[in-house]
A and B are shown apart, each in its own frame.
Chain A
Amino acid sequence: MAPRRARTWIAAITIWVVRVVFAVILAFPFYWMLITTFKRTSDLYNLKNNPFIFNEAPTLEHLRLLFHETLFLRWVLNTAFAGTIVVIITLLLAVPAAYALARLTGGWGAQLGIGVFLTYLIPPTLLFIPLSKIVATLGLQDSLWSIIVVYPSFTIPFSTWLLMGFFKSIPKDLEDAAMVDGLSRWGAFVKLMIPMSTSGILTVVIFAFTLVTQEFVYALTFISTAAHQTVGVGVPTFLVRGDVFYWGSLMAACLITSIPIGILYNIFLDRFIEGFTVGAVK
């Protein structure tokens, strides 16, 4: 048996190799987006060039094109607008629902909670056909409002389930003490629970917003005009002229869309896991 020292070294190196290999494979496309964004078109489409380095000087041309000659900015604004309203609707409905379900005595609360969560598993690729008819009937076809109305159908279940976890972790005694001190149940909810759950609510806001930015199927189905589209559908679909993809600008758009969301998500992931495990345990 090899001496202990050698064995620990081999183990340590193996673990680091694994970490680096996975990180490279998972992050590589984003690195590639980064490089492509700043490479001249002539450099990109020259088969003789080494794609990993800048054979010609870097350029900001793709970014310029993206912002000035495409609807990219429009899409970002559309997504931001839709996202904000969807998050507001979600909070208005999910926060009271989660509270009520978290505090419901008997098995009911948990059962309903699970039921609510299960609706999240019903896929958009099943519902999009009936929903397209509903959207048309409401006269919302090809409008940003179609997704503003439809998105809460999945952000609410997800957020309710997540918030239930957060609310459950606040001991019931605190509210009971507040009610003994004279607050009504509603008062206890507003003056006590909400301030105490700000971190949970903030986490839900971030995650609901990212759900909105990540959505593809409904936006593709309900919205046809480029100017009304979100960023998730606009970028892969409309950044082409004829059959030609403008890869430079396309990758620039991808980069701008991915990184900020990635940073936000990373910051809030720990809180999300807390809510997730607490919710599951109950």
Chain B
Amino acid sequence: MAVVETRKLTKVFKRGNVGAVVNVDLESREGEFLVLLGPSGSGKTTLLRMIAGLEEPTSGEILIGGRVVNDLTPRERGIAMVFQSYALYPHLTAFNNIVFPLKAQGVAKDERQKRADWAAALLGIQHLFHRKPRELSGGERQRVALARAIVREPSLFLLDEPLSNLDAKLRASAREELEQFQKRIGTTAIYVTHDQVEAMAMGDRVVVMSQGSVRQIGTPADVYDQPADTFVATFLGSPPMNIVPADGVIVGFRPEHFLPPGVAERLGEHVSYQFRVTHSEYLGAERILYGIIEGGPFKERKVISRIPATHGSEISDGNVYTFAIANRDLKFFDPKTEKRASAARLPL
């Protein structure tokens, strides 16, 4: 039985407008870390809020633990949520923040203390009990927010971009903490983010969304290596996949698969093109080459290549090189639907 399920879930904010969430079917698995990924406006946060009970769906059903919860308040759904700003109650100490949901449930004082201690121990924050949120660092606030969430032993965790308010350095360690935490607890988590690196790193499965619809659901490998359409193909991966239209088909290949001479030969069956490098960026661990394909079906197309620093050969701006792509790394998309098409014959 899936922990969370949505059936044809739709949300329209103003009558006549395009839906914020359109006909979403979703099923999460026990204990998985499911990421809702998409740009702003894709509907991922609205979807999460509907699952939480903070937003009422226009149509469709939401099921938690097998029963329809559309008419239940957030409190009745047995979920816990971590907000982008953590939403800690500023006038309460960390301890009182953590026990607040237990008080609301009428849990007795000793039991509250026990559970708060257990949650705090799990997150290593017992020494912060008496502090108020404004006396805590960003990372500590995240841990208090998590403690407040697990203290109720929910069946489902919902997280709304909790890392986006942290500065870059902190984000990496906070991310790791979150992942470990979820694995340890084993509770199903649904996590919203616009950061595709985060999604790939943390998710057991990723739900890629755009303009209210689900484009693809799959493991990070699925969505990265076998994108379902051009949106997924270009949204994941930075720099994005090269998308070049040719006769009657759209061809896609990732910058890291567009390789310089010397490497190409080892790829097995491949295609080669003349690549004039217009400018390059040296990023330390890798180099990004921007240029134009000369000749062939992709004449004058701007493409990007990405080669690791370990590749020694000299590549300089303004020159033309023969770059190659392994056949298996070529993806084809239907120009009308933008969806993946079966391998077509590549026009030469």
Give the B-binding residues of A (Cβ under 8 A).
1, 3-5
Contact = CB atoms under 8 A, between A and B. Distances in A.
Nearest to B70: A4
A1 B76 CA distance: 10
B73 interface: yes
B60 to A, nearest CB: 16
A57 B76 CA distance: 61
B71 interface: yes
B219 to A, nearest CB: 36
B180 to A, nearest CB: 37
Nearest to A3: B71
Contacts of B71: 3-5
B343 interface: no
B72 interface: yes
Chain B interface size, under 10 / 10 to 19 / 20 to 34 / 35 or more: under 10
B175 to A, nearest CB: 34
A226 B73 CA distance: 65
Interface string B68-85: 000111001000000000
Contacts of A3: 71
A3 B76 CA distance: 12
B57 to A, nearest CB: 12
Interface string B99-122: 000000000000000000000000
Contacts of A5: 71
Interface in B33-77: 71-73, 76
A4 B73 CA distance: 7
Contacts of B72: 4
Interface in B170-189: none
Nearest to A4: B71
B87 to A, nearest CB: 22
Report, nearest first, the 3 A-B pairs whose CB atoms are least far apart.
Answer: A4-B71, A3-B71, A4-B73
A1 B72 CA distance: 10
A114 B5 CA distance: 58
B59 to A, nearest CB: 15
7 contacts: A1-B73, A1-B76, A3-B71, A4-B71, A4-B72, A4-B73, A5-B71
A7 to B, nearest CB: 8
Contacts of A4: 71-73
Contacts of A1: 73, 76
A4 B76 CA distance: 11
Contacts of B73: 1, 4
Nearest to A1: B76
A209 to B, nearest CB: 40
Nearest to B72: A4
A140 B167 CA distance: 66
Nearest to B53: A4
